[in-house]
Amino acid sequence: MMKMTATALAAVLLAAAGSAVAAPTVDVLHYWTSGSEASGLNELKTLLQKEGVVWKDAPVAGGTGMNAVQVLHARVAAGDPPAAVQLQPSQIATWGKEGQLRDLDDIATKNGWDKIISPELIPYLNVDKQYVAVPVNVHRNNWLWYNKQVFDKLGLAPPKTWDEFNAVGDKLKAAGVIPLALGGQPWQELDLFENLVLGIGGPEFYRKALVQQDESALRSPTMLKVFTELRKLNDYVDPNYPGRDWNLATAMLIQGKAAMQIQGDWAKGEMLLANKKANVDYGCVPAPGTAGDFTWIIDAFSFFKTKNADKVEGQTDMATAVLDKNFQEAFSLKKGSIPARVDVSSAKFDECGKQSFVDRAQAQANHTTIPSLAHNAAAAEDKTGVFLDTISSFFESKNMTPQQGIDRLVSGLQSL
Ligand code: GAL
């Protein structure tokens, strides 16, 4: 654990003596509001408070920051940017290129970030080769979670392909169980879509279609298969899915009301918080067709430039604490993710977490690590917005044909 800085000690002592004194301070804009997200973040809050840092919490509920991003724009426009903000790669690029984010190179050099951060993440934390973000963790997005007791009771095996998924879905429906737990929000529907692109087309196709937005890939027979299967998934969700938050969908899986959820491993954080056990209550397998691939998501913090000395010190303390080795382990054990540091042992993680460590290393060796589109890593914000709007409209409008969906996606991207 870190030593208390002299300033922090002075602040604590003087505060205890009843004298008001400036103390290192951070106001933190984030969206970690579910039970397991808040529990993980509390590890950081507690660590910083022990250092004498004043933490002003600014939570904005809404999966993957779909609402927090609007609050951030409003606060910056009002001249009141947060000292610290939770961002993902495309947002780091947006604010970094505008010169609004603090240069963290001094902290990175002092703490050897180039050697301790998982290498595939580093380019996404830099703008013009300058660190402007510190990574908290890595989530894997291409997971399928299943309720093991429901599967065992019905004698089902977790699906490895999308044809197997459909067959399992039909058997679950016949047994009166909701096959797929889903929240009807654009990012969750785009999540399904990106897993279909990877599972049906493979990593290279994913890169061409979603990272490069190559028109021949978007108009290919493979993409038609993706949209056709996405339409099929309408048959496997319950009528009340529209607008549902992701953690309420996970609660359906935990309670056995639904049998499967295709979701990043933050869903596991909720299952752990509910005292559920891997391979007893829940099972984890790669999303159909994606075994050997690792769709990564980075959660990071950036720090808006400020002249306020207390905020500058609070930012320095927070950027340093986020990559503290003990915090990196404690956070991910609660959050369902794996550390952004490469030197944290997997020993304390459950079987699904251990599998994530192994699969990340294998995917790095095989060049099958893939940036998530739904979680703001594969494409710029404007292009991601077109995918969100188009895929959500397609999933919600059952009379839109797969070809119409593709035509709408291509024209939307071309209109940027
Ligand atoms: C992801 C984020 C996770 C979790 C999830 C649901 O984008 O990386 O930490 O917050 O959204 O909100």
Instruction: Please indicate, yes or no, if residue 361 is contained in any of the structural domains.
Output: no
Is residue 1 very low, low, confident or very high in pLDDT (cuts 50, 70, 90)? very low
Q: Is residue 12 part of a domain?
A: no
Question: Where a domain ends, among 310, 332, 356?
Answer: 356
Quick one: what percent of the chain has pLDDT higher than 70? 95
Asked if residue 4 is part of any domain, the answer here is no
Answer whether 295's CB lies under 8 Å from 360's CB. Answer: no
Give SS3 for 146.
strand
Are residues 266 and 158 part of one domain?
yes
The pLDDT of 184-205, averaged and rounded, is 98
Mutate to test the pocket of ligand 1, among 87, 145, 266, 373 (most ligand atoms within 8 A of CB): 266
Instruction: Count structural domains, the chain.
Output: 2
Mean pLDDT of the chain: 95
Q: Which of 63, 18, 56 is nearest to 37 (CA)?
A: 63
- For a mutational test of ligand 1's pocket, the pick from 85, 139, 322, i.e. the residue with the most ligand atoms closer than 8 A to its C-beta, is 139
Q: Are residues 55 and 177 in the same domain?
A: no
Residue 378's pLDDT is: 97
Q: Whose CA is nearest to atom 1 of ligand 1?
A: 64
Whether residue 380 sits in one domain with residue 344: no
Question: How many Cβ atoms sit within 10 Å of the Cβ of residue 372?
Answer: 26
pLDDT band for position 183 (cuts 50, 70, 90): very high
DSSP 181-225: ---BSHHHHHHHHHHHHHHHHHHHHHIIIIIS--HHHHTSHHHHH
- Is pLDDT of 16 > 90? no
- What is the reported pLDDT for 3? 53
> Would you say residue 123 lies in a domain?
yes
- Ligand 1: list residues with CB < 6 Å: 32, 37, 63-64, 139, 246, 266, 297, 299, 375
List the structure tokens of 400.
């839109």
pLDDT at 196: 98
One domain for residues 74 and 119: yes
Q: Is residue 365 part of a domain?
A: no
**Atom of ligand 1 at shortest distance to CA of 247?**
6
**Residue at which a domain ends, from 331, 356, 381:** 356
Please indicate, yes or no, whether residues 158 and 45 belong to a single structural domain of this protein: no
> In CATH, what number is assigned to the domain containing residue 159?
3.40.190.10
Same domain as 266, residue 165: yes
In this structure, the answer to whether residues 76 and 225 fall within a common structural domain is no
DSSP secondary-structure letter at 84?
Answer: E
Last residue of a domain, one of 315, 330, 356: 356
107 within some domain: yes
Residues 199 and 340 in one domain: no
**Dihedral through CA 156, CA 160, CA 165, CA 169, nearest 10?**
20
What is the per-residue pLDDT across 137-180, written as a single tens digit (0 to 9) for each?
999 999 999 999 999 999 999 999 999 999 999 999 999 999 99
Closest of 280, 287, 278 to residue 350, by C-alpha: 278
Mean pLDDT computed over 119-138: 96
Measure CA of the first residue to CA of the last residue in the chain; give whole Å. Answer: 48
Mean pLDDT computed over 294-300: 97
d(CA 347, CA 345) in angstroms, rounded, equals 5
Q: Looking at the domain assignment, is residue 364 inside a domain?
A: no
**Same domain? 134 vs 164:** no
Encode pLDDT of 359-386 as tens digits: 999 999 999 999 999 999 999 999 999 9
Residue 89 lies in a domain: yes
24-41 residue pLDDT tens: 999 999 999 999 999 999
Query: Cβ contacts of residue 343 below 8 Å, gap of 6+?
Result: 116, 325
13 — pLDDT class (breaks 50, 70, 90)? low
Position of tokens 């209550």? Answer: 281
Distance CA(52)–CA(55), nearest Å, equals 9
Cβ neighbour number for residue 250 with a 10 Å cutoff = 27
Looking from the CA of 70 toward its CB, the CA atoms found within 13 Å total 6
As a whole number, mean pLDDT of residues 64-72 equals 97
Q: Do 109 and 165 belong to one domain?
A: no
Report the distance separating Cα 122 and Cα 245, nearest Å: 31
Whole-number Cα distances in Å, 59 to 48, 62, 68, 69, 333: 17, 10, 8, 12, 21
State the pLDDT at residue 21: 67
User: Residue 344 sits in which domain range?
Assistant: 24-139+296-356
In this structure, the answer to whether residues 44 and 180 fall within a common structural domain is: no
Going by their DSSP bridges, the two strands 134-140 and 178-180 should be labelled as unpaired
3-state SS, residue 85: strand
SS3 label, residue 143: strand
- Please, are residues 88 and 376 in contact by the beta-carbon 8 Å criterion? yes
CA 151-154-159 angle, to 5 degrees, is 45
Q: How confident is the model at residue 22 (pLDDT cuts 50, 70, 90)?
A: confident
For ligand 1, what atom is nearest to the CA of residue 297?
8
Mark whether 394 and 255 lie in a shared domain: yes
